[in-house]
Structure 1
């Protein structure tokens, strides 16, 4: 991946193309509608270009890492922590 060189000569992090709903649906094996629903509910960060949903690769990486850490915690404790959008006192017990 090429580094981006700014007009002043500074190099920035490599540019990454943002994900589309189709990209994420393929990556997570779900529907594009589900991806848009997650975005509209505020569960994954997104931006729009006109009517098109786009997702920054770095934001998705952070989301996946946070989800992975929640899954690991659930497996070890049997308790699923509430998402940030849910009440802080909400918990789901997994049987």
Structure 2
């Protein structure tokens, strides 16, 4: 979910590379925990005030529905919900 509690609906290719790599391993209703090191997340700058510099990010991701790419103009798509994103650093 995003900050408002809504699911995210977008093409897998529109997610950051680390998310896309994780999502491509999932099937419908699959779940995965992504542990993203600082160099693949917000790095030494962080994202103040929410993410401190050098933070490792942990995301719980669940695919709620997959849609065939032929149904969506512009290519492959998937619907994913980010349930929780928190820093561990």
Both structures adopt the same fold (TM-score exceeding 0.5): no
Higher relative contact order (CA 8 A, sep 6+): 2
Greater strand percent: which structure?
2
Question: TM tier, shorter chain?
Answer: under 0.3
Structure with more helix by fraction: 1
Structure with greater Cα Rg: 1
Could you state the TM-score of these two structures normalised by the residue count of structure 1? 0.24
